Amino acid sequence: MSKCEISSPPNSNAEIAFQQPLPSLIPFVPVLKGGGEESAVRQALQVLRTDRQLNDLEPLLAFFASFVLETPLVQQIMRWDMAVLRESPWYQEILQQGMQQGMQQGMLSGIALGLELKFGTQGLQLMPEIRQIEDITRLEAIQSAIKTATNLDEMRQIYR
């Protein structure tokens, strides 16, 4: 088997990506017809690692490989060190966004519970408007206001 051959059906899209002078297609091999096999992903990785200009496309290959292979296998193929990944700006951005969304969801759940306990089911009528708020500080203010508000109009004044 030559360097540019893969063990996929003849004329598959993945095979064409390896044979044609289109190196920018290599990261997409896992999602091309005939490219969802471990051997195809390994070959695509080898091609990326041997070309300095394509080296930066390795995370993109891993991203597409994760659609067709199990994550532990993708990590094994890539031989990624999770400590190195955790230090990458990309990982940090994803982690921060996840934490932000988690905090927002937690605040919204707490607000809904507080509104229902204090004002009954009528309090839950405010939730569609409150769910539109993404600012954690505003959500914290709403949650705190539940303790002192005496009616729903006072609650509305907090976030409008």
Distance between CA 140 and CA 124 in Å, rounded?
Answer: 17
Per-residue model confidence (pLDDT) at position 117? 95
CB 30 within 8 A of CB 68: yes
Please provide residue 6's backbone torsions phi and psi, each rounded to the nearest 5 degrees. Answer: -125, 160
Distance between CA 139 and CA 110 in Å, rounded?
Answer: 10
Q: Which two tokens stand for residue 132?
A: 């539109």
Collapsing DSSP to helix, strand or coil, 63 comes out as: helix
Per-residue model confidence (pLDDT) at position 93? 84
Distance between CA 65 and CA 50 in Å, rounded?
Answer: 19
Per-residue model confidence (pLDDT) at position 105? 93
Per-residue model confidence (pLDDT) at position 84? 59
Domain boundaries in the chain?
Answer: 13-80, 89-159
Per-residue pLDDT for the chain (160 aa), expressed as one digit of tens each? 433 444 444 456 677 667 666 677 888 889 888 888 899 999 988 888 888 888 778 888 888 888 899 888 888 888 865 565 666 677 778 888 889 899 999 999 999 999 999 999 999 999 999 999 999 999 999 999 999 999 999 999 988 8
CA angle 30/77/14 to nearest 5° reads 20
pTM tops 0.75, yes or no: no
Per-residue model confidence (pLDDT) at position 5? 43
